[in-house]
A = this chain, B = another copy of it.
Amino acid sequence: MGFARKEYEFLSEIGLSSSNLGCYVNGSWKGSGPVVSTVNPANNQKIAEVTEASLQDYEEGMQACNEAAKIWMQIPAPKRGEIVRQIGDALRTKLHQLGRLVSLEMGKILPEGIGEVQEIIDMCDFAVGLSRQLNGSVIPSERPNHMMLEMWNPLGIVGVITAFNFPCAVLGWNACIALVCGNCVVWKGAPTTPLITIAMTKLVAGVLEKNNLPGAIFTSFCGGAEIGEAIAKDKRVPLVSFTGSSKVGLKVQQTVNERFGKCLLELSGNNAIIVMDDADIQLAVRSVLFAAVGTAGQRCTTCRRLLLHESIYERVLDQLLEVYKQVKIGDPLEKGNLLGPLHTSTSRKNFEKGIEIIKSQGGKILTGGGLMESEGNFVQPTIVEISPTADVVKEELFAPVLYVMKFKTLKEAIEINNSVPQGLSSSIFTRKPEVIFKWIGPQGSDCGIVNVNIPTNGAEIGGAFGGEKATGGGREAGSDSWKQYMRRSTCTINYGSELPLAQGINFG
Contact = CB atoms under 8 A, between A and B. Distances in A.
13 contacts: A74-B443, A77-B142, A78-B462, A115-B505, A136-B138, A139-B479, A150-B463, A440-B493, A446-B487, A448-B487, A449-B491, A463-B490, A463-B492
Contacts of A116: 503
Nearest to A291: B507
Interface in A110-164: 111-112, 115-116, 118-119, 122, 125-154
Contacts of A452: 491-494
Given A118-B503, A150-B464, A260-B470, A135 B144 contact: no
Interface in A428-464: 431-434, 436-438, 440-454, 458-464
A147 B153 CA distance: 13
Interface residues of A, number: 124
In the A-B complex, the 7 residue pairs with the closest CB atoms: A129-B129, A136-B138, A132-B462, A77-B140, A463-B490, A453-B494, A78-B142
Nearest to A81: B125
Contacts of A458: 501-503, 505
A440 to B, nearest CB: 5
A286 interface: yes
A290 interface: yes
B129 A140 contact: no
A74 B154 CA distance: 34
Contact of A496 (B78, B150, B434, B494): B434
Interface string A71-87: 00111111101000100
Given A140-B78, A495-B453, A73 B460 contact: no
Given A118-B503, A280-B497, A453-B495, 16 more contacts: A76-B140, A76-B143, A111-B507, A115-B504, A129-B129, A133-B140, A136-B137, A151-B440, A153-B444, A286-B508, A287-B499, A338-B508, A440-B493, A451-B492, A452-B491, A453-B494
